[in-house]
């Protein structure tokens, strides 16, 4: 596998992570043999340091530092919310035109990797702004409904909780299509059977920040893969 490099300088490198690729080795997915951090290291011939995360099924902008000091500085930017992230998502139903989801989330813990973590930690603030870009009604019956409705959203998380976007969209009853953990199985099945779409329809489209070394603004944008693009074409949606 060769990764699409979106940006590279002496301190940072960014890729367009494919859906289904882990960022790094995980006890949860022991069977996986390919990881973004390893592939990128071999591709550019030097060590890389991930400075934020994307879930395995999520595609899009993924940023790495090329040294530990830059990784620390970038980590501070993310922690202090001095980065701007935008995602695209296809969700069930007609959402409102725009809104802000302000819903604290308890930290989700994995049984294997977080076994010794504090289980009593209170819910942490979590905020996601969203804007509806497109909507469509399809002549496919789902459950008790004679048709199926979907919206294309631009999501702007203001915080970075684990699975925040997927959990927030579920909270407002517009789960992301293809989400096998927080989504709607009937709609996931429809997309697999009718559109041959087997991925989570969540894509990290854009990341903006001030470069910690040059102090210049950096804007990273990642294009959609063929599976996501095919859905937009099928629904006659444009960005």
Which are the catalytic amino acids? 55
Backbone angles phi, psi at 143, to 5 degrees: 60, -130
Query: Closest by alpha carbon to 154, among 210, 227, 97?
Result: 97
CA distance 78 to 75: 5
CA distance 84 to 67: 22
Helices H, strands E: what count in the chain?
5, 10
CA distance 223 to 6: 10
Backbone angles phi, psi at 70, to 5 degrees: -65, -35
Residue tagged 């693009």 (tokens): 229
Q: How many CA atoms lie within 13 A of 170 on its CB side?
A: 14
């Amino acid at each position: 596998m060769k990764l699409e490099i979106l940006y590279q300088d002496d301190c940072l490198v960014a890729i367009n992570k494919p859906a289904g690729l882990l960022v790094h080795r995980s006890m949860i997915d022991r069977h996986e043999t390919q990881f973004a951090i390893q592939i990128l290291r071999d591709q550019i011939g030097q060590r890389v340091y991930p400075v934020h995360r994307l879930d395995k099924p999520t595609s899009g902008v993924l940023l790495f530092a090329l040294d530990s000091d830059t990784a620390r500085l970038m980590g501070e930017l993310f922690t202090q919310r001095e980065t701007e992230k935008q995602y695209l998502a296809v969700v069930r139903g007609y959402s409102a035109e725009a809104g802000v989801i302000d819903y604290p989330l308890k930290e989700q813990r994995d049984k294997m990797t977080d076994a010794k973590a504090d289980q009593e930690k209170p819910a942490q603030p979590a905020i996601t702004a969203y804007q509806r870009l497109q909507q469509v009604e399809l002549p496919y019956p789902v459950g008790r409904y004679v048709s199926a409705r979907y919206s294309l959203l631009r999501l702007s998380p203001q915080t970075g909780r684990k699975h925040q976007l997927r959990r927030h969209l579920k909270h407002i009853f517009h789960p992301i299509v293809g989400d096998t953990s927080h989504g709607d199985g009937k709609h996931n099945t429809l997309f697999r059977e009718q559109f041959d779409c087997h991925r989570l329809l969540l894509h990290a489209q854009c990341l903006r920040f001030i470069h910690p070394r040059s102090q210049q603004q950096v804007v990273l944008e990642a294009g959609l893969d063929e599976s996501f693009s095919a859905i937009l074409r099928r629904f006659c949606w444009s960005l």
